[in-house]
Amino acid sequence: MEKRCLCCKKRFYRHAAVRKQRYCSDPECQKTRKRKWQKEKLSRDRDYRANQAEAQRQWRRRNQGYWREYRRKNPAYTERNRICQRERNRLGRSGSGIAKMDERKGKPVIPSGRYRLVPFCNPRIAKMDELIVDIAVIPGGCRLGAGGVMIAKRGLARLWRSAVINFLRMKEPFCMEEIAVSEIGERYGAFRIVSPRADAAMVQSMGKYGQIAPVVCVKGQGGYELIDGFKRLRACRRLNQGTLRAKMMEVSGRVCKAAIIQLNWSGRSINEMEEALVLQSLHREDGLAQIEIAVLLGRHKSWVSRRIALMERLSEEVQEDIRLGLISVITGRELAKLPRGNQKEAAQTILKRRYTTREAAKLIGYVFSRPRWEYAAILASPWEVVEPRQPRPRGFGAKLVSFREACQGVSEGFRKCRAEQRRDLTSLIHLAIISAEEVAKTLRAEP
């Protein structure tokens, strides 16, 4: 079938294996297609944007002197950049304005998140009519139907209006309460994973400084239910404290589950498995579609899909071990690669042998590479795959290990240094050579 290329406007014949081909096979047209795809992916997918930023940071760390060397080799580029920068500075001082990367065109001005809403008539004074609101940006694939109900283009419905703006009745100066520990329920604690090390640190902190930040609760018909602050609650019980300072919310059960993720995003105190537990509950128990959950949380549908799939690949026994903190989140992600019927036996082997995450990943990777009928035999004798750990040296042996690592770091850094940097560090290099020779002479001496 003959079509017209979107880039060069020339006619071409579609490839039989590519049903929706819009660009011809010309290299320039393919580059245009890839650039457009990456630009759209960066604007839609937050995880992809974070991965690209991390890759760029690692590249800059490995090539710290790249731009300095580039400017040295391209003086014309450097001079042109200086001239343009002077012009930008002049425009900035004149107040005419410069369009930068933070300018938004055809996109939401504010991101999804929590905001403070005050009357515009006097925004500097926050009175009792102040509200804390949750604003979720609706993707372009959704539109408002009759009665304010959001309808997706492909017919997905049931996106409720409160997903756009959830008024959380949290008038901060008047919403703090002292609640008895015995009256606080932990129904939503099933979505958080217990970490004994983190609990011990929280007990030590509360014993020394007291409660610094309030917990977050919702008041229902049966009493108070805790949403955020489970480690503080457990520490309070271990310290025999009678009350906790709490903020109150008036929201539905669905929004409570979403708030578990939103309240812990800023501090990154919620891991991937806990997010998966919350998303699975919203999907299975509350009957929300994946795109509805994505709109509620302000994330992409693929982010929701990956976490729900991760949790549904795990067996119930492994999920319970992860909730109790017996198995780490990284090990749980590795166990999800195995069939559900073999995950319990693999988890028992890892717990019995007290394998680290690396050792568990090595064992599961080997099991996964073998035929399924060999799984039981491999898990029954895992020492054939995972070598026994050597005891870590202590005392002077530990110093020798750290000295070896320091020497390797110095050697790698010296190779990366340029000639002018080596000249500047001549005296330090000379002292390092003398110290290394003295250490080598001492170590070679007979006992």
Counting every residue written for the chain, the total comes to: 447
> Average pLDDT in the 322-330 region?
82
Residue 94: per-residue pLDDT? 66
Residue 119: per-residue pLDDT? 64
Residue 162, pLDDT above cutoff 60: no
3-class secondary structure per residue, 287-334: CCCHHHHHHHHCCCHHHHHHHHHHHHCCCHHHHHHHHCCCCCHHHHHH
Residue at 264: amino acid letter: N
Q: Is residue 56 classed as helix, strand or coil in its secondary structure?
A: helix
| Percent of the chain at pLDDT exceeding 70 | 80
Residue 335: per-residue pLDDT? 87
Q: How confident is the model at residue 134 (pLDDT cuts 50, 70, 90)?
A: low
Give 162: exposed, middle or buried? Use CB within 10 Å, 0-12, 13-18, 19+: middle
| Percent of the chain at pLDDT exceeding 90 | 2
**Minimum mean pLDDT range among 84-93, 110-119, 158-167, 403-412:** 158-167
pLDDT (tens digit per residue) in 228-245: 888 999 999 999 988 888
More confident of the two residues 341 and 148: 341
Residue 92: per-residue pLDDT? 74
Rounded CA separation 253/384 (Å): 49
Domain extents for the chain?
2-62, 172-384, 396-444
Distance, C-alpha 354 to centroid of its chain: 27
**For residue 168, which phi and psi values (nearest 5 degrees)?**
-90, 115
**For residue 426, which phi and psi values (nearest 5 degrees)?**
-60, -45
A 10 A CB-CB count for 228 gives 24
CATH class of 172-384: alpha beta
pLDDT (tens digit per residue) in 188-228: 888 888 888 888 999 999 888 888 888 888 887 778 888 88
Q: Is residue 146 classed as helix, strand or coil in its secondary structure?
A: helix
Residue 82: per-residue pLDDT? 87
Residue 97: per-residue pLDDT? 53
pTM of this structure: 0.49
Selection from 139, 131, 92, 66 nearest residue 300 by Cα: 139
Q: Is residue 152 classed as helix, strand or coil in its secondary structure?
A: strand
Give 382: exposed, middle or buried? Use CB within 10 Å, 0-12, 13-18, 19+: buried
pLDDT (tens digit per residue) in 76-111: 888 888 888 888 888 777 655 555 544 444 555 567
Q: Is residue 376 classed as helix, strand or coil in its secondary structure?
A: helix
Q: Which of 161-170, 315-324, 388-397 has the highest mean pLDDT?
A: 315-324
Rounded CA separation 38/48 (Å): 10
**Minimum mean pLDDT range among 1-10, 264-273, 427-436:** 264-273
Q: Which helix (H) or strand (E) holds 170?
A: none
Instruction: For Cα atoms 143, 146, 152, give the angle at the middle one, nearest 5 degrees.
Output: 30
Rounded CA separation 318/440 (Å): 51
pLDDT (tens digit per residue) in 31-48: 999 999 998 888 888 888
